[in-house]
Amino acid sequence: MISAETDLVVIGGGASAYGFLKGLGGNNHFKNTKVILIYPSEYNARTELINIADISPKFLQKKNLLSLSYYLHSFGNYIEKGFTHIGVHGIGGMARIWGGSIGVFDKKSLIKNNFNPSEFQSIYDEIDSFLPSGCNSIKVSKKIKKLFGNYVNSRLKISFPKLLIKDNCNNCNQCLAGCDLNSIWYPTKDDFENIENLDINIMENCFVTNISDNKLTYKNKYNENKYLNSNTIVLAAGTMQNYKLMINLKECKSTKAKLYTTPALAFAFLNFTRNSEKKFFGMGNATFLIEKNKNIQFYGNLYDGYSLSISKGKVFSKYRVIDSIYKVLSRFMVVGAGFLSSDNADCNIEYINNTIVIDGKYTDEYYKNIAMILNILKKFLKEKKSIFVHIKKTNIGADLHYAGGVPNELYDINKIIDGQLKGIENVTVVGGSTFSYLPPESPTLSYIANSYRIGKNMTRSSNNE
């Protein structure tokens, strides 16, 4: 039995859904269209089963906890090979979890994704007008120059990160370090309801379990199965949940898909000149790029040990003693984490015997690049008489950044950039699923951009007239 009918339904209430609907609001083909937006907005009881004590408080902003329950619901049955995860709590749809640090993809990365760079650039400009992007108020230049000396503007480039912050942010420079202010922006119910030219009806506390060309099944808050008929279904549930819903399509015979992810490197070193600075620069206050032949090889954020130490919780280690030692040393500590492009990982996802298997290995490129990065860092440390205290290469499946995951037989690079699936009429995909390469950079701004572009350019299919 169908319990409701609509023109268009969007699954997911994250950044990509918002970008898509903002684009659709400006699309004359869809003026005043009735849209249903469906996503869970409350914690699921099973959320508490996950131990999150050793995750940085950066990720414990209220809404972020939502993602834990999706993980349990959707990936109870999954295994991993050659794969460790640091953002696994976000694996089944991140539910608006992210640090908020943003950057635009360069021309080369856009071309690798089959986008038209100048068109994409103008989309970045358009979304900039409605996203609350800003920089932290602290100027990093003097402090960082002192610390990094001749590395600034040579191989190790330091720049300001942009952050997506809410109006109530007081630029305390701590917003990525367990901020109690909930200052990181994510689209709220109000944001969705205020999108112009669309008649948006939000169905909260619902979780979609299955889709077909124009019908979806969802569970409501009483865990009852309900159905919805829609001319167009838009998947904006995050890369992993989108995959899970796409493999349920009856047209999808094979569940194999390419998954793109950005291997990560995290490091901490002691630098005693560091202590001469009176004020700290906060987490996310400095973005650095390591380049080779004018190509960015590695992109990361520099954190300040102090800003980590004042965060609540076990930031450094889950072992209390190690954690306390780190906290004492943190005044002298510089911490960094960054990413390599998805070319450094060869990763696939498949559904085998009711189990989702994510299988990956490093590519040859990875070993060369990681050696180069370590050499640059080591050289820097030697000059500054600093020492490494911790270095960690996380395996592929540095699952903060996922893209792709479109089952092979539905995938066509010329179609997927517009959110279209091969052989399927009425389902559109937005967000990370529409990308086929990730540069070593924060991807969410680009996910929002392409989702917006898809919403803006979408035409009504014959079934929708």
Ligand X SMILES: Cc1cc2nc3c(=O)[nH]c(=O)nc-3n(C[C@H](O)[C@H](O)[C@H](O)COP(=O)(O)OP(=O)(O)OC[C@H]3O[C@@H](n4cnc5c(N)ncnc54)[C@H](O)[C@@H]3O)c2cc1C
CB of 98 to ligand X, least distance (A): 3
Q: Between residues 12 and 419, which has the closer beta carbon with respect to ligand X? A: 12
CB of 207 to ligand X, least distance (A): 5
Please give the DSSP secondary-structure letter assigned to residue 3.
-
Neighbouring CB atoms inside 10 A of 31's CB total 13
- Angstrom distance (rounded) from CA 277 to CA 332: 10
Tokens of 207: 């979780």
CB of 275 to ligand X, least distance (A): 28
Question: What is the amino acid identity at position 339?
Answer: F
Write out the residues near ligand X by the rule CB under 6 A.
11-17, 38-40, 59, 70, 87, 90, 93-102, 207-208, 236-238, 241, 400-401, 431-432, 442-444, 447
Count the alpha carbons within 13 Å of 364 in the hemisphere toward its beta carbon. 0
- Angstrom distance (rounded) from CA 410 to CA 424: 8
CB of 216 to ligand X, least distance (A): 9
Q: Between residues 238 and 360, which has the closer beta carbon with respect to ligand X? A: 238
For residues 454 and 418, is the Cβ–Cβ distance under 8 A?
yes
Q: Between residues 46 and 379, which has the closer beta carbon with respect to ligand X? A: 46
CB of 294 to ligand X, least distance (A): 23
CB of 73 to ligand X, least distance (A): 8
Conformational region of residue 82, where left means phi above 0, alpha means psi within -120 to 50, and beta covers everything else: left
* CA-closest candidate to residue 41, choices 226, 243, 268, 204: 204
The residues that bridge with 5 in the sheet, in sequence order, are 229
Task: Give CA separation, 246 vs 255, 311, 433, in Å.
Answer: 9, 39, 11
Q: Between residues 39 and 326, which has the closer beta carbon with respect to ligand X? A: 39
CB of 206 to ligand X, least distance (A): 6
Q: Between residues 94 and 270, which has the closer beta carbon with respect to ligand X? A: 94
Q: Between residues 12 and 305, which has the closer beta carbon with respect to ligand X? A: 12
Q: Rounded to a whole number, what is the largest CA-CA distance in the chain?
A: 71
When CB distances to ligand X are compared, the closest residue is 14
Q: Between residues 21 and 94, which has the closer beta carbon with respect to ligand X? A: 94
Residues whose CB is less than 8 angstroms from the CB of residue 150 and which lie 6 or more positions away in sequence, other chains included? none
- Angstrom distance (rounded) from CA 315 to CA 58: 9
